[in-house]
Amino acid sequence: MSKANAGHIIVKGSSRKGNVGGDNPRSIHRFFTAIDKGSARPAFCYPKKKEYFEEEVRRMEKTLASNMVHPERRMAYEHQLNEHKKRLDEIHESFDNAQKIVAEDPDGWAKRREELAEQIKEGVPSRKDVKERRVNPFANLRREKVEGLEDIKNEYRIISRAMGEESNVGFLQKEK
């Protein structure tokens, strides 16, 4: 055993996240690709970043087309533009992959999303309790982490984005 791994057991296929992959056809780990690089959610879950890259690519192409880049920096600028385009293509590919996964079993994914929504509704205090300050926000956050509600919310967001549905868990909070 090498010193780098001394005292650590590496178990392939395990995860610290809620829904472990393996052979489960409705595992959220199927949505993750190489572009995600250890992120909490897949790239398609961040539409603002996608919009930023699209705008950045358009701006850079316009700058190159109007010859506003100094000739000494042109090659580096084109390289940066190609990197942004590659990243944007990977984000689009990530979303296409997610849609294919959902298309394999749309009813199953919808059912799983509804199950998660019910678990979130039951685990989150009502708006009235929050408004009247009957809930300690710090104790609530600690409880969410310990009980796994944080992972459930994350899974709900991923599945919702993949299905093209609303992913805001705030709408699931009960009124009373």
At 63-113, the pLDDT tens digits run 999 999 999 999 999 999 999 999 999 999 999 999 999 999 999 999 999
Residue-wise pLDDT tens digits, 126-165 = 888 888 888 888 888 888 888 889 999 999 999 999 999 9
| pLDDT attached to residue 125 | 86
pTM score, two decimals?
A: 0.77
Say how many CA atoms lie within 13 Å of 158 toward its Cβ: 27
Do both 76 and 125 map to the same domain? no
The verdict on 137 and 98 lying in the same domain is: no
- Which pLDDT belongs to residue 8? 46
Q: What pLDDT score does 3 carry?
A: 53
Please check whether residue 154 lies inside any domain of the structure.
Answer: yes
113 is in which domain, residue-wise?
Answer: 105-176
Chain centroid to CA 26: 16
Tokens, residue 64: 């190159």
Same domain assignment for residues 84 and 142: no
- Residue 12, both tokens: 């392939």
- Rounded CA gap, 62 and 64, in Å? 5
Number of domains in the chain: 2
For residue 34, being part of any structural domain is answered with: no
